[in-house]
Structure 1
Amino acid sequence: MGVSESESAAVALSAARFARATDRLLECAGFYREVVGLSQLFAFADHAEYSGFVFGLPDASAQLELVRLEDETPTRVPDPEDALVLYLREGESGVRKRLADHGVSEVVPDNPYWVALGAFAVLDPDGWMVIFVPPIATDGPYLGNVRFEEFSGARAEIAWSFRLAEDSESALAGYLERGRVWVARDGDGSVLGHAQAAATGDGSVWEILNTAVAQPFRGSGIGRRLIEQVVDAAATAGVRRVEVATATADIGNLRFYQRCGFRMTRVVADVFTPEAGYRDGLEVDGVPVRDQVWFTRVL
Structure 2
Amino acid sequence: MGVADSGAVSGGVGLPLTAARFARATDRLVECAVFYREILGLAPLFEFADHAEYSGFVFGLPDASAQLELVRLDGAVPERAPDAEDALVLYLREDAGALRQRLADHGVAEVVPDNPWWPALGAFAVLDPDGWMVIMVPPAAADAPLLGNVVCEEFLGDRGEIVFSFRLAEDSEQVLASYLDRGRVWVARTGSGAVVGHIQAAPESDAAVWEIVNTAVAEAFRGSGLGRRLIDEVAAAATVAGVTRLEVATATADIGNLRFYQRCGFRMTRVVADVFTEAAGYPPGLEVDGVPLRDQVWFSREL
Structure 1 pair 191–106 and aligned structure 2 pair: CA distance change class (3 A):
farther
Find 2:249's aligned residue among 233, 245, 252: 245
Aligned-residue offset at 1:173: 6.7
- Tell me if 1:280 matches 2:285: yes
Label 1:67 to 1:34 Cα distance change in 2 as closer, same or farther (>3 A). same
Give the secondary structure class of the aligned counterpart of 1:290: coil
Conservation of the 8 A alpha-carbon contact between 1:4 and 1:167: no
Q: CA deviation at 1:93?
A: 0.9
Q: Secondary structure at the match of 2:100?
A: helix
* 1:20 maps onto 2:20 in alignment: no
Q: Cα deviations across residues 264-289 of structure 1 (Å, max 9, x unaligned)?
A: 454333333466355723124x4322
The equivalent position to 1:105 in structure 2, one of 106, 110, 113, is: 110
Residues in 2 aligned to 1:198 and 1:44: alpha-carbon distance in whole angstroms = 52
Q: Secondary structure at the match of 1:73?
A: coil
- The amino acid that maps onto 1:95 is L
Using a 3 Å threshold, how does the CA distance of structure 1 residues 40 and 281 change in structure 2: closer, same or farther?
same
Letter in structure 2 aligned against 1:228: D
Number of residue pairs matched by the alignment: 283
Match of 1:141 in 2: none
Unaligned runs of 5+ in 1: 138-143
Match of 2:238 in 1: 234
SS at match of 1:118: coil
> How far is 1:90 from its partner?
1.9
Structural RMSD (CA): 4.4
Deviates most, 146-155 or 100-109: 146-155
Is 1:208 aligned to residue 205 of structure 2? no
Name the CA shift for 1:159/1:60 in 2 (closer, same or farther; >3 Å): same
Q: Whole-Å Cα distance in 2 between the matches of residues 2 and 172 of structure 1?
A: 19
1:98 Cα deviation after fit: 2.3
**Can you give the 5+ residue segments of structure 2 that lack an aligned partner in the other structure?**
142-146
What's the TM-score once normalised by structure 2's chain length?
0.69
Q: In the alignment, does 2:103 pair up with 1:96?
A: no
Indicate yes or no: 2:209 matched with 1:196.
no
Equivalent-residue separation in structure 2 for 1:118 and 1:251 (angstroms): 34
TM-score, with structure 1 as normaliser:
0.70
Contact 1:109/1:121 (8 A) holds in 2 = no
Deviation at 1:181, TM superposition (A): 0.7
Q: Percent identity?
A: 60
Aligned to 2:153: 150
Distance 1:110 1:157 in 2: 39
The one-letter amino acid paired with 1:47 is H
